[in-house]
């Protein structure tokens, strides 16, 4: 009997270890950043897979594949940095490296210390095409957890660092409401409000859309993923292959600690 009890305890411990999420960048939503930074010395690899469709009736001719590989590193417990490599494929075009992105995040205190958790995010993007300007993006990341409910919001500003014709910019709000069924299972709904003017050097156009979609995220001790499809419910877009009609994003993360 003692042997059976010991085996049962070992099995229960193994299941708990597999289910309990590590201190990783576990996202409830695919487009909304949570209140999180890697711990000091913490490392994680994330793979982002995206599909952006400008016209669902012409999906084959208006769908952009958007793939990112990211490495995150914790400088301190409240400050981290990341390096992205972005690959894209437009309809009929080759799959190729599009840009490099350097990101840094800083959060103020531990979660729950203030009425609303606040984090700052900055990103510098260098397109592979040297004829295009650098782009600078900033985010104000807000989060409020109430029991098992999760509320997150990102206020976003993006600007092409160019003069003359190169004046592309974007203002956006990404928000989400989720529910923690278990610490490793989250369900939610996210909303994307976008007002973007594409850089004339990249073809121009605008995207003023409101999109909504469901999200599902799962995690174990060594792996997590989130998937969210978003669909346009209002607005219009004239930017080819930008995702004005539908955006689907899948992110997988692997902590390296």
Those residues with Cβ within 8 angstroms of residue 216's Cβ, 6 or more apart along the chain or in another chain: 186, 187, 226, 227, 228
Quick one: how far is CA 37 from the chain centroid?
A: 13
User: What is d(CA 77, CA 223) in angstroms, rounded to the nearest whole number?
Assistant: 21
Contact 242, 64 (CB under 8 A): yes
Q: How much is the average pLDDT of 193-201?
A: 88
Give φ, ψ of 19 to 5 degrees. -85, -35
User: What is d(CA 242, CA 208) in angstroms, rounded to the nearest whole number?
Assistant: 11
Number of domains in the chain: 1
Residues constituting the chain = 257
Q: How much is the average pLDDT of 238-249?
A: 85
Tell me if residue 60 falls in helix, strand or coil. Answer: helix
Q: What residues form DSSP beta bridges with 172? A: 156, 194
Per-residue model confidence as pLDDT tens digits over 57-82: 888 888 999 999 999 999 999 999 99
Predicted confidence (pLDDT) at residue 18 exceeds the cutoff of 50:
no
Residue environment code for 125-160, b if the CB has 16+ CB neighbours within 10 A, otherwise e: bebeeeebbebebebebbbbbeeeebbbbbebebbb
Q: What is the pTM of this model?
A: 0.88
Per-residue model confidence as pLDDT tens digits over 89-125: 988 899 999 999 999 999 999 999 999 999 999 999 9
End-to-end alpha-carbon separation of the chain, Å?
Answer: 37
pLDDT band at 23 (very low <50, low <70, confident <90, very high): low
Residue bearing the bigger pLDDT, 8 or 56? 56
* CATH number of the domain that residue 125 is part of: 2.40.160.40
* Maximum C-alpha span of the chain: 80
Nearest one of 145, 118, 138, 121 to 72, comparing CA atoms: 121
Q: What is the pLDDT of residue 8?
A: 43
Predicted confidence (pLDDT) at residue 229 exceeds the cutoff of 90:
yes
User: What is d(CA 19, CA 242) in angstroms, rounded to the nearest whole number?
Assistant: 37
Predicted confidence (pLDDT) at residue 167 exceeds the cutoff of 80:
no
- Whose tokens are 């600007």? That residue is 159
Structure tokens at 141: 């990341």
Domain residues for the domain of 88 are: 2-255
Q: What is the pLDDT of residue 131?
A: 86
Q: What residues form DSSP beta bridges with 199? A: none
Read out DSSP for 124-176? EEEESSTTSPPEEEEEEEEEEEETTEEEEEEEEEEEE---TT---EEEEEEEE
């Amino acid at each position: 009997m003692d042997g059976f009890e010991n085996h049962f305890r070992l099995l229960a411990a193994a299941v708990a270890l597999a289910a309990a999420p590590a201190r990783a960048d576990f996202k409830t939503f695919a487009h909304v950043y949570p209140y999180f930074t890697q711990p000091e010395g913490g490392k994680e690899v994330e793979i982002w897979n995206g599909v952006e469709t400008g016209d669902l009736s012409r999906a084959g001719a208006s769908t952009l594949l958007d793939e990112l590989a990211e490495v995150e590193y914790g400088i301190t417990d409240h400050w981290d940095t990341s390096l992205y490599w972005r690959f894209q494929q437009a309809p009929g075009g080759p799959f190729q490296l599009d840009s490099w992105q350097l990101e840094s995040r800083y959060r103020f205190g531990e979660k729950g210390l203030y009425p609303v958790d606040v984090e700052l995010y900055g990103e510098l993007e260098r397109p592979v095409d040297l004829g295009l300007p650098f782009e600078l993006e900033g985010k104000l990341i807000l989060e409020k957890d109430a029991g098992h409910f999760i509320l997150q919001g990102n206020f976003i500003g993006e600007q092409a660092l160019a003069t003359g014709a190169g004046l592309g910019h974007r203002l956006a709000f990404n928000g989400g409401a989720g529910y923690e069924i278990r610490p490793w299972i989250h369900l939610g709904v996210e909303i994307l409000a976008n007002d973007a003017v594409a850089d004339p050097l990249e073809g121009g156009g605008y995207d003023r859309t409101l999109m909504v979609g469901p999200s599902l995220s799962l995690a174990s001790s060594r792996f997590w993923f989130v998937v969210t499809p978003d669909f346009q419910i209002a607005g219009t877009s004239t930017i080819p292959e930008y995702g004005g009609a539908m955006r689907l994003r899948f992110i997988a993360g692997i902590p390296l600690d």
